[in-house]
């Protein structure tokens, strides 16, 4: 029997806790400033009054979060979802495991796209390192986020992982509420999306039965996210050079904030979410007698293949591959106009990088790899289909 009080430190707010949180947000000056930027035509006091009328998290998300997320959608050329490979059923909850492109919008866009299909928002796994201000922690917990607690010791990390796993199993199995989780901790800087085995191990710390049984309980549905342009590409390239040039380099809070801001307000081009179907049947076909390490490797590779096969590829992916490899292998996939547009985009992003010993060839190569790798992985996955 699950003791749900054990989840109090990480779970989203219960609906009866919302009124107190609303009052705390109402007097937070930073929250007021952020909300004013998103809803400039509505007085803050009117928004607070509207907030107070929301008795449930679902009502809050319908009244506020939906419009807030789509506000950031205007910095794209359209955000789409294809859920046709997985039947929509409010009685069945899924664990959506996605590649990780944007700190906030991966889960945000998925939630509002599901709302457009008449489904509730997903609960979202979010690292406590992103909860830089008190208002952020409160706001995300209203929006069905549960907290991934980073732990300083191995023992605390195991305890935190076990609690998180048990919470996800409880959410899927008992609450019948779908969950979003990234396939890895942090974004793949080079867009070479690989599921971390530690994520799969964490998911097996809850539930009952053998490893495969515990994962089947979660109804895992991989999702491929494809951004035409990554507004943080130049920041990722910059970080590559900083790590290369200084072994002691560590990202600052200010740099984290800049990444979040760039991801929200930067141009993304087209964005597509492809739900690939539930992998339960394929999990059943795996050899459960394999050593644990090998089994986790097989499961991670299975999720990777689903994601890689289902990327939506854009002209920039083909152009980046050809530019990086100095070939014209995919010249039929883009026009000269596409090529010039992408080349100009890369130069513009490189110009934004402010480093004292700026290594342009290195930075360009890193940026091109970010756009070429989804194509490389797509081709590899097709060969293993």
pLDDT at 1: 66
**CA nearest neighbour of 127 among 118, 136, 119, 115:** 136
Q: How far apart are CA 95 and CA 84, in angstroms?
A: 16
Burial 56-65 (b: 16+ CB within 10 A, else e): ebeebbeebb
- Say if residue 131's pLDDT is above 90: no
55 φ/ψ angles, rounded to the nearest 5 degrees: -85, -15
pLDDT at 253: 83
Token pair for 202: 């964490």
What digits encode the pLDDT tens for the residues 54-92?
999 999 999 999 999 999 999 999 999 999 999 888 889
Mean pLDDT of 170-186: 95
- Say if residue 127's pLDDT is above 70: yes
pLDDT band at 212 (very low <50, low <70, confident <90, very high): very high
Averaged pLDDT of the chain: 95
**CA nearest neighbour of 271 among 217, 333, 229:** 229
Report the percent of the chain where pLDDT is more than 90. 86
pLDDT at 385: 64
pLDDT at 179: 98
pLDDT at 26: 96
Token pair for 161: 């992982």
What digits encode the pLDDT tens for the residues 184-204?
988 888 999 999 999 999 999
pLDDT at 209: 96
Distances in Å between the Cα of 176 and the Cα atoms of 65, 171, 173, 207 are 21, 6, 6, 15
Mean pLDDT of 167-177: 97
What's this model's pTM, rounded to 2 decimal places?
0.95
Mean pLDDT of 23-34: 95
Of residues 320 and 101, more confidence is placed in 320
pLDDT at 384: 78
What digits encode the pLDDT tens for the residues 274-322?
999 999 999 999 999 999 999 999 999 999 999 999 999 999 999 999 9
- Say if residue 3's pLDDT is above 90: no
Is residue 102 within 8 Å of 130, Cβ to Cβ? no
Token pair for 276: 């690939």
What digits encode the pLDDT tens for the residues 214-267?
999 999 999 999 999 999 999 999 999 999 999 899 988 888 889 989 999 999
Q: What is the set of domains in the chain, with CATH numbers?
A: 4-231+266-309 (3.40.1130), 315-383 (no CATH)
Distances in Å between the Cα of 44 and the Cα atoms of 48, 57, 296, 325 are 6, 20, 49, 53
């Amino acid at each position: 029997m699950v003791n749900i009080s054990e989840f109090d430190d990480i779970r989203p707010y219960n609906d009866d806790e919302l009124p107190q949180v609303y009052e705390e947000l109402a007097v937070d000056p930073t929250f007021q400033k952020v909300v004013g930027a998103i809803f400039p035509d509505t007085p803050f006091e009117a928004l607070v009054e509207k907030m107070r009328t929301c008795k449930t998290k679902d009502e809050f998300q319908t009244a506020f979060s939906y419009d807030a997320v789509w506000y950031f959608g205007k910095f794209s050329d359209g955000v789409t979802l294809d859920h046709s490979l997985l039947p929509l059923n409010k009685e069945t909850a899924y664990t959506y495991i996605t590649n990780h492109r944007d700190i906030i919008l991966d889960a945000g866009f998925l939630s509002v796209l599901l709302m457009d299909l008449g489904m509730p928002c997903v609960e979202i796994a979010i690292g406590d390192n992103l909860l830089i201000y008190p208002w952020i922690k409160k706001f995300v917990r209203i929006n069905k986020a549960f907290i991934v607690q980073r732990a300083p010791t191995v023992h605390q990390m195991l305890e935190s992982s076990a609690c998180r796993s048990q919470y996800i199993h409880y959410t899927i199995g008992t609450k019948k509420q779908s969950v979003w989780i990234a396939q890895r901790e942090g974004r793949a800087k080079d867009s070479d999306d690989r599921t971390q085995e530690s994520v799969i191990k964490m998911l097996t710390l809850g539930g009952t039965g053998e490893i495969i049984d515990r994962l089947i309980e979660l109804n895992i549905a991989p999702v491929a996210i494809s951004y035409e342009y990554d507004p943080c590409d130049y920041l990722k390239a910059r970080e590559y050079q900083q790590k290369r040039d200084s072994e002691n380099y560590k990202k600052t809070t200010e740099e984290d904030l800049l990444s979040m801001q760039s991801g929200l307000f930067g141009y993304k081009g087209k964005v597509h979410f492809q739900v690939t179907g539930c992998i339960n049947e394929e999990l059943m076909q795996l050899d459960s007698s394999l050593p644990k390490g090998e089994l986790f490797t097989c499961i991670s590779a299975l999720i990777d293949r689903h994601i890689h096969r289902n990327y939506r590829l854009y002209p920039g992916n083909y152009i980046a591959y050809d530019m990086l490899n100095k070939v014209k292998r995919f010249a039929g996939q883009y026009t000269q106009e596409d090529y010039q547009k992408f080349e100009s985009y890369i130069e513009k992003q490189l110009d934004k990088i402010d480093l004292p010993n700026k290594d342009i060839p290195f930075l360009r190569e890193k940026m091109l790899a970010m756009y070429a790798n989804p194509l490389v992985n797509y081709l590899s996955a097709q060969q293993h289909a």
